[in-house]
Amino acid sequence: MPSIEELIEIYKGDYAPAKQYAASIMLKMLLKSKYAETMDEVRESLGFRINDRNSSKVLMWKKKVKKVGKCDICGSTENLEAHHIIPWEYSITGRTDINNGQCLCKKCHSMIHDDNEWYEYLRGKYNG
């Protein structure tokens, strides 16, 4: 098993997402203690970037973006989703920056990502 230091380097480094995810699971098992109630706290205390789309910070970001209450494109108030203006994979700091969010309905959000197969996979996995 890799050391904590090696896992941190994998997690913070420029590795494949699957390898970073595996490192995060191992770190969670090794580091979770009375000092860190959640993995988000562990990540934050170690200065990690946010990789988990279901982290509490990302979920809070989604909630704030959708609080606008209507689609920025068509004005619909139904099936609202949070959209990253600068895509998730291109902006680590933008992942939870409210200024990098746009409230869109599911239809308009799909149109924006129409040519992105990875987006369609994520849509099914996380449900916006």
Query: What is the residue range of 8's domain?
Result: 4-45
Q: Taking the model in full, what pTM does it have?
A: 0.55
Whether residues 77 and 113 fall in one domain = yes
* pLDDT (0 to 100) of residue 49: 61
Whether residues 41 and 60 fall in one domain = no
pLDDT tens series, the chain, 128 aa: 677 778 778 877 777 777 777 877 777 667 654 344 555 555 666 655 666 788 888 899 999 999 999 999 899 999 999 998 888 877 777 888 898 899 999 988 888 877 565 555 555 544 44
What 3-state class would DSSP assign to 103?
A: strand
Whether residues 64 and 119 fall in one domain = yes
Domain count, the chain: 2
Instruction: Please give the distance of CA 115 from its chain centroid, rounded to a whole number.
Output: 20
